[in-house]
Amino acid sequence: MSTTKQQQQPLGPSSWTTRRDEKHSRMQKVESLLKGKVLPTEQIVNALELLIRPGDRVVLEGNNQKQASFLSAALVQVDPEKVNQLHMIMSSISRPDHLDIFEKKIASKLDFSYSGSQSLRMSQMIEDNSIEIGSIHTYLELYGRLFIDLIPNVVLVAADKADRQGNLYTGANTEETPTIIEAAAFRNGIVIVQVNELVDEVPRIDIPGAWVDLVVESDRPYQLEALFTRDPRQIKETHILMGMMAIKGIYAKHNVQSLNHGIGFNTAAIELLLPTYGESLGLRGKICKHWALNPHPTLIPAIESGWIESIHSFGGEVGMEKYTAARPDVFFTGPDGSMRSNRALCQVAGQYAVDMFIGSTLQIDPEGNSSTVTSGRLSGFGGAPNMGHDPHGRRHDTEAWLNMMNGDGPLVRGKKLVVQMVETFQNGERPTFVDSLDAIHVGQEAHLPIAPVMIYGEDVTHVVTEEGIAYLYKAQNIEERKLALAAVAGVTPLGQAHDASLNERLISDGLIAFPEQLDIRRTDARRSLLAAKSVEELVEWSSGLYNPPSKFRSW
């Protein structure tokens, strides 16, 4: 017996345009305030109250460097009676007003990646039950969820310039702006952009105006930090020794062609050792050709001396604008000359396209698990878990990747090099090597379903300390991993419990190497090896193109 079409009950919703209709309804409320897509600066708080509804998912741009600071300050000023119970999505919690919105009951739930300078306050607010944490994400994980189950209703982002049609110029600090906007623009979310300047014509169109609903000229330029600049004056001989070991015992040993460096004086030392120590080893043209990295000023000597072929960046760096514009063969730049960054795409490159990630951490346990989340600090970890793990989806081979094979058989695969480079003690004489990560307790206190581990030990291939290198990828079992780690843990409790009589076997098996096995004399680790010993010398290397922020100037 057949059923006619008229007799069938509709299975879908009565309307397929509810999100579009909802957006249209909201935008009508601010229509009288706008001139085209431009909102007067003084109307921003009023506009936010009209456009944002209780319970909305709101993305507020606040990454490592670029902050939508005008919009975050405005969001704090909305009436909590009108705007409340917001579910905030932010990659980086970097400003006090990012947390003020929770204390004022404007927002209640947070999904984020990194909290950095606000980590102490974040931990206290969780303890006080004034903020609910959804999850602590890696950057790519958070961006991905914007297109799946955290689709935003409203996004608040920042750009350098806009024309009156809403076309955006984001310049060197494009960062995560395109990803955030796309997640909203194509699911009928509302896109609000603060700009430093309204112009008749933008230098280049980084984001088309059709994706943008409202632009507002901010009362001051968006907050921008020189987060990745390290003053060579602060590089110690310990950093230099570790850098020498890394270059000879890892970079050269495994023929690392492409890589990402974390932030820190250890990796800054490596960058400044390439044109000197690396050159003395005859390694130019053999290692460190391709980078996924912000334009660190400490890269300038290596670039100028011909070591580096390409750099794709997560974001820009204050003071490096003229230098990157003058080196288009190295950096990704637009026709206008300014660098183009993209945090999401660079994270993908750092996860899948590089041979090696080398970074640092605050704690490592005996199995090699690590985290930057410590007692009283819920800092998160940003992109390190993306780049600091072995992506099993990788299929392209490189010599370095194949060099990590540790076994026989037709299905043995290569592995990404994941290097942790740490001093055995942190500032304040806190040991880096601990019996158990603080992250376990912090996760329990914050009611997180899993401990906020940054990089799992199973992914770590090497650990470098001032004592030596542990080649963890060579370990045949967990006990060998523990022995190799303990051998380079110095006078930490883990290191002191180690039986030093086992070191000869560990060296013979290739599980550890001290400077002596690498033909490195500790007394050779001197600041005189650095290609530049001050920010002033970096400026000289750049032929005056690098313009460091005033806090780094001492001349």
CA distance 2 to 191: 49
Residue span(s) of the chain under CATH 3.40.1080.10 come to: 23-224, 232-539
Residue 110 three-state SS? strand
pLDDT at position 342 is 95
* Tens digit of each residue's pLDDT (9 = 90 or more) over 293-305: 999 999 999 999 9
User: How do 223-224 and 214-217 pair as beta strands?
Assistant: unpaired
Fold type of domain 232-539: Glutaconate Coenzyme A-transferase (3.40.1080)
pTM, whole model, 2 decimals? Answer: 0.94
CA-based nearest residue to 66, from 137, 158, 156, 180: 158
CATH annotation of 23-224: 3.40.1080.10
**HSE-up of 303 (CA within 13 Å, CB side)?**
22
> Hey, what amino acid is at 209?
G
pLDDT at position 500 is 95
pLDDT at position 387 is 92
* Tens digit of each residue's pLDDT (9 = 90 or more) over 147-195: 999 999 999 999 999 999 999 999 889 999 999 999 999 999 999 999 9
* Tens digit of each residue's pLDDT (9 = 90 or more) over 205-223: 999 999 999 999 999 999 8
pLDDT at position 550 is 87
Q: Pick out the chain residues at pLDDT < 50.
A: 1
pLDDT at position 8 is 64
CA-based nearest residue to 68, from 221, 254, 230, 263: 221
- What value does the mean pLDDT of the chain take? 94
The CA radius of gyration of the chain, in Å to the nearest whole number, is 25
What are 310's strand-pairing partners? 290
CA-based nearest residue to 48, from 33, 67, 66: 33
